[in-house]
Amino acid sequence: MTVTNSSAGMSMFLKSLFFILILAQISCLAQKQIPPPVLIGTPMTPERLWTVKRVTGLGLTRDGNNLVYRVSTPDVEADKMRSSYYMVPVTGGPTTEIPDASGLAVKELSPDGKYKISTKEVKTEQVRGTDYYPELKKSNAWIYNALDYRHWDTWNDGTYNHLFFGPADQADSTYTDLLQGMPYNCPQKPFGGDDDYVWSPDGKSIVYVAKKLAGTASVVSTNTDLYRYELATGITTNLTEQNKGYDTNPQYSIHGDLAYLSMQTDGYEADKNDLKVIRNGKVLNLTSQWDETVLSYRWANDGRRLWFTAAVDGTLQVFEVNVPQTANERATVRQVTQGDWDVNTIIGESGDLLIVNRVSINRAAELFSYNTMTKTWRQLTDVNGEVYNATSTCRTERRYVTTSDQKKMLVWVVYPPDFDPNKKYPTLLYCQGGPQSALTQFYSFRWNLHLMASQGYIVVAPNRRGMPGHGVEWNRQISKDWGGQNIRDYLSAIDDMSAMPYVDRNRLGAVGASYGGYSVFFLAGVHNKRFRSFIAHDGMFNTQSMYGTTEEMFFVNYDLGGPYWDPANRKSYVESNPSALVAKWDTPILIIQGGKDYRVPEGQGIEAFTAAQLRGIKSRFLFLPEENHWVTRPQNSLVWQREFFKWLKETL
C-alpha cells in the first residue's frame, strides 16, 4: 500500500509538474510580442524627402534608341530647383549627361523644317490705371469690366498667350499671330504647353487649342475647341464646334488621322474624358462604351492604335485602343499593364518597348521600359536609388470596405515601416482633393503617404465617391452632393479600420487639402467624437463666400449647382456648408492657407481660423503668402511638413 501510495503520489506530482510547465509555457507565449520586421534603412523624414530628385522623361531621340530626361534637384538653401539633362538607351545601359534636350525632335518646326511655331504674351486689353491714364505713372490701380480678372495665382494684366508662325529662318517679330490679337489664350493658362498645338503631317496647317470666349463668358465655360489654321490661305476652321465641353491635346498619326481628348458637358471639368479620332472628316469616339475616363495618350508607332493612361481600382495603368479601319470593326479597349503602381506618362515607343514614368506610394518617379510582347519591366533610371536604399519602406494594403449604401469601396492602408500588429498606432484618415481626383499609388512631395506612415501613423486613404477608376457613375456622384454620401464613405472607412486591434481609437486624425480640406472642415462638425485632431489645407470652409470669390465659375456652377441666391441650391449652401456646422466643432484644428490661391481664396482659411478661435478651440493658422493652391518652394514645403507633424505630435 505504501508503494502503491508512493507511486500514486509520484504520478500526481508528475502530472502537476507537467501542467505547471505547460501553463508557464503558455504564459511566456502570451507575454512574448511578435517581433517587428527587420528594417532596411531608416524612416523617411521631411528633410530626406527634400533630397529626392524629380525625374521627367522628355522624349526619345529621332532614331528611337535613346531616352532623354531631365533631373530636377532641390536646392533647399537657395530655395529653388536645379535641372540637368541625361540620355539613356531604351534597352538599358549607361547614362550620359548632355547639355540640353536638343537631341529630340523639335515640335515647333514644321515637318519639312521650313516653318516654325513660337509663343509669346500679347497685351490685348487695358487693365492698369496707367493704361488708361499714362500721366499717372505712380498709380497701381487695376480696372476690370468683367470676370476673368484673376486665375489660379495671377491677376490678369491684359496679356494673353498667343501662337505665331513664320519662316524658320526669319525673326519671330515677322511671324503671323494665329489668334489675331484677340483676348484668347494658346497655350492655355496656367498649365498649357506644347500639347496645345501640332503641325499636320504635310506641314500645310496647324491645329491648336483655344477657348475663344472672353471675360465673364470665359469663366463660366469649359468650351475649348480645336482650330485648324491653313498656312496658304490663312483660313481658320473650328474642328470641334459641335462639342461644348473641353477638347484638348491634338495629335496626328503617321497616316494623318487627328486624335484628341474630349469632354461632352460644358462647365463640367471632371466629365468623362473620351479619346476621339477624326478620320476623313468623320469623328470616331473610341472610348464611348468604356466605363472610365482617359487621362493622357499617345499614338502607337503604327498609327493604327493608341496607348493611353487611366485610373483603375486605385492605380494608374496603360491601356490600348484600336482605330477601326472598316465599317464592321469596333474600337476595343484593352488594359496593358497592371500592378500596385502608377504609370503617370507614356513617354514614347521603340519597337516592342513602351517608355513610361512610374511611381508608387513608397518611391518617387523613375523611368521604365515595358515590353508589350513579353510583359516585362526594365528600370532605366535609378536617380534616387541611394536615397531609397537607405530608407525603410511602408507596407501598403488594399482593403475593401462596405459603405453605408452597401457598395464595395477600395481603401489604401499604409503602415509604419516597423509595424507590429501587437501594438496600437495613431491613425490618420487621408481625404483626397479634387473633388474628382483619383486616389492611386501617387507620390507627392507634400501629401506623401510614405512620409506620414514613416512618422509612426497608420494612414487610411479611401477611394470615396467622386473618384475615377471605379466607373463613371462612382465618379459623377459627388457633384452637388459634397456633404453627402462621400462624407459617409470617409466615416465607413475609418470605422472599419478602427475595429482593428492595432488602431488606437483614441488617437485618430483627419487631414486633407482642397476638397480634402473641405472634407476636414465638414467632418469637424459631424464626426461625433471620432477624431482627436484635424488638418485642413486650402479647404473650402464657406461655400457661399467661396462662390463669390473663386475664379473658375464653371466649377462651382456645376459642382455646387449654381449661385447661392438660387433657392434650388440650398443643399450646397446650407446642408453641405461646413461653416453652418461650426457650433458643433470641438476638436483641435490646424488650418493652412496659400495667399496666392485664387481657386480657394485666402478668406476661406481666415474664416475657418476665426471661427475656431472664437469657439475657444485649440487651433493654429499657417499662412503662406506667396504660395498658390500648392506649396512649391522647398523651404516653405519644409515649414509645411514640420508644422504638420508638430501639430500631430501635440494633438495625437
Cα–Cα distance, 458 to 386 (Å, whole number): 26
Residue 21 has pLDDT above 60, yes or no: no
Residue 320 has pLDDT above 90, yes or no: yes
Residue 1 has pLDDT above 60, yes or no: no
Q: Which of 10-24, 470-484, 497-511 has the lowest mean pLDDT?
A: 10-24
State pLDDT tens for residues 378-429.
Answer: 999 999 999 999 999 999 999 999 999 999 999 999 999 999 999 999 999 9
Q: Where are the domains of the chain?
A: 388-651
Residue 25 has pLDDT above 70, yes or no: no
The pLDDT-based confidence of 14 (bands split at 50, 70, 90) is very low
Residue 77 has pLDDT above 80, yes or no: yes
The pLDDT-based confidence of 239 (bands split at 50, 70, 90) is very high
597 is catalytic: yes
586 is catalytic: no
Residue 2 has pLDDT above 80, yes or no: no
The pLDDT-based confidence of 18 (bands split at 50, 70, 90) is very low
- Mean pLDDT computed over every residue of the chain: 94
Given the residues 360, 597, 619, 637, the one annotated as active site: 597
Q: Which of 5-19, 142-156, 365-379, 587-601 has the lowest mean pLDDT?
A: 5-19
CB atoms within 10 A of CB 479: 18
**Matching residue, cell 484673376:** 150
- Return the percentage of the chain with pLDDT > 90, whole number: 92
Output the pLDDT for position 28: 37
Residue 30 has pLDDT above 90, yes or no: no
CB 343 within 8 A of CB 308: no
Cα–Cα distance, 210 to 196 (Å, whole number): 8
The pLDDT-based confidence of 376 (bands split at 50, 70, 90) is very high
State pLDDT tens for residues 248-304.
Answer: 999 999 999 999 999 999 999 999 999 999 999 999 999 999 999 999 999 999 999
Residue 523 has pLDDT above 90, yes or no: yes
Greater confidence (210 vs 12) lies with 210
Output the pLDDT for position 436: 97
Output the pLDDT for position 73: 97
- Return the percentage of the chain with pLDDT > 70, whole number: 94
Q: What is the pTM of this model?
A: 0.93
| Surface-to-core class of residue 9, CB atoms within 10 Å of its CB (0-12 exposed, 13-18 middle, 19+ buried) | exposed
The pLDDT-based confidence of 110 (bands split at 50, 70, 90) is very high
Output the pLDDT for position 42: 96
The pLDDT-based confidence of 33 (bands split at 50, 70, 90) is very low
State pLDDT tens for residues 596-644.
Answer: 999 999 999 999 999 999 999 999 999 999 999 999 999 999 999 999 9
Output the pLDDT for position 515: 98
Distances (CA, A) of 652 to 257, 474, 485, 525, 531: 58, 33, 27, 19, 9
Residue 527 has pLDDT above 50, yes or no: yes
Closest CA to 218 of 247, 185, 186, 195: 185
Question: In this structure, is the dihedral angle defined by the CA atoms of residues 125, 128, 131 and 132, taken in order, positive or negative?
Answer: positive
Residue 453 has pLDDT above 60, yes or no: yes
Q: Report the CATH fold assignment for 388-651.
A: Rossmann fold (3.40.50)
Given the residues 514, 533, 579, 637, the one annotated as active site: 514
Output the pLDDT for position 327: 86
Residue 10 has pLDDT above 70, yes or no: no
Output the pLDDT for position 29: 34
Element (H, E) at 523: helix 515-526
The pLDDT-based confidence of 103 (bands split at 50, 70, 90) is confident
Peptide bond into 187 cis (omega under 30): yes
Which cell goes with 606? 481666415
514 is catalytic: yes
Which cell goes with 515? 476638397
CB atoms within 10 A of CB 388: 20
Distances (CA, A) of 308 to 317, 501, 577, 608: 8, 42, 37, 41
